[in-house]
Amino acid sequence: MSRLFGTDGVRGEANTELTPELAYRLGRAAALYFGKRYEDKPKILIGRDTRISGEMLESALITGICSAGGHAISVGIIPTPGVAYLVRQIHAVAGIVISASHNPFYDNGIKFFGRTGYKLPDAVEDEISEIVSQLSSDDNFYRPTGAKIGEVEYRRDLVVDYLDFVVSTTSERFDGMKVVLDCANGAAYDIMPIILNRLGVNLILMGDNPNGININENCGSTHIENLRLEVLRNRADIGIAHDGDADRCLCIDEKGNLIDGDHILIMCAKLMMDIGALVKNTVVTTVMANIGFRQAIENLNGRYEVTAVGDRYVLENMLNNGYNLGGEQSGHIIFTDYSTTGDGLITALQVLTAIKKFKKSASELNEMMTTYPQVLINVRVKDKKISQEAEDVKRAIFEGREELGDTGRILVRASGTEPLIRVMAEGPNKAQLDRICNKIAAEIEKVNA
């Protein structure tokens, strides 16, 4: 039986896979679990992004929480890292985010943070899953009556506390800096423009008019090409793009070149090294990091550690070893000095801070790292395990690796959040990489035909 929780919460198409009934049981299970361990009326914070299904799922979650005597605190639309921050500030026992991040609007997700602001361990998720399973078959769990019934509190004002905190993570102002900001019609659409305006930015906005179904639609960090056009058209100093729940940040320099997570890590590593703030001069990254990243960090006399793909693995390494900077090429950047999870808003301010501190353009900082050509093909599959274990797929991967030798690398992995196999190749010759990736992808498609 597959786990209810995936790599980043419970996800699925809203109202078919992720139903209000499931959301109700998740809310009820969470209140039962945390109420038993911490307090009779556990405070559970809830935030969401702008998807049309968000309010429906939130209402179901709240009903479930209150049915088990919990105290639900709804903050409305807020970036995912905002929930992680506020859980600690108001001493809630848990936080819940309703979002499917970079996925299309028809998907949604429910993920949990514990009272410390970190995502729940697998063991806790499994215990909540077990309660959900029992609720599905025979709900004989605690049902309070009278004054013990749970309650809901609406606290949009708490978003301002998070906003003030994000502003406090930089000591710089950016007066006169021209920035194009793409909020992906998502959770940052309201809060991030306020932050940048407060810090003096000359702001040009995109993706700031959510209607429930346009989140991530041809905008945001998954559709960066539109931001590039706006940066060039407006002769901006930099472009900033978030994803739907704003835990990611990617940028475009003034010449129209992508500043991905690898490049952002190099800029921030240099910024922190110069003031002696980068612990052990080490950055934690994943197997997806470009070969050029490794060369660039070594050129700074720094070092790196590599984990599996996923911000939870990056964070796990950081916490185990005391490191304070890590992230992914996709734009999940974690500053443990400030946050317990990736925060796209804080990341954006650190990039702007680097531009201001070093008195260099975004493109000059971007050139601290040379990116090797990298090809990535996403193949939609019926069964991720079978797709990876098929002999013809393995043979194509082996042949590709033999051809590249020491000049490049191939990485084939299953997506943790979507029914996809990701085929990536990296090396000096893009045409060669295209051919190798397409061959592997074709074999995967045959298995799923």
Q: Which residues are catalytic?
A: 101
| Largest pairwise CA distance in the chain | 71
Residue 76 phi, psi dihedral angles, 5° rounding? 80, -145
Q: Are strands 178-182 and 202-206 parallel, antiparallel or unpaired?
A: parallel
Find the distance separating the first CA and the last CA of the chain, reported in whole Å.
Answer: 25
DSSP state of 378: E
On the CB side of 442, CA atoms within 13 Å amount to 8
Say how far apart CA 335 and CA 325 lie, in whole Å: 5
- Bridge partners, 282 (sequence order): 303
- Residue 405 CA to residue 352 CA, distance in Å, equals 39
Give me the helices (H) in 274-409, please. Answer: 291-299, 311-321, 344-358, 362-366, 384-389, 391-404
16: exposed, middle or buried (C-beta count within 10 Å: 0-12, 13-18, 19+)? Answer: exposed
As beta bridge partners, residue 71 has 43, 151
CA dihedral 338, 346, 211, 119 (to 10 degrees): -30
> Which among 152, 222, 181, 186 has a CA at the least distance from the CA of 78?
186
Distances in Å between the Cα of 315 and the Cα atoms of 111, 286, 307, 336 are 16, 11, 10, 8
Residue 153 bridge partners (DSSP): 73
Instruction: Give the containing element (helix H, strand E) for 296.
Output: helix 291-299
Given CA atoms 351, 374, 105, 59 in this order, what sign does their dihedral have?
A: negative
Chain centroid, CA 71 distance in Å: 27
Cα dist from 159 to 25, 84, 116, 308, whole Å: 27, 12, 18, 33
Q: Which two tokens stand for residue 224?
A: 């960066």
The length of the chain, given as a count of residues: 449
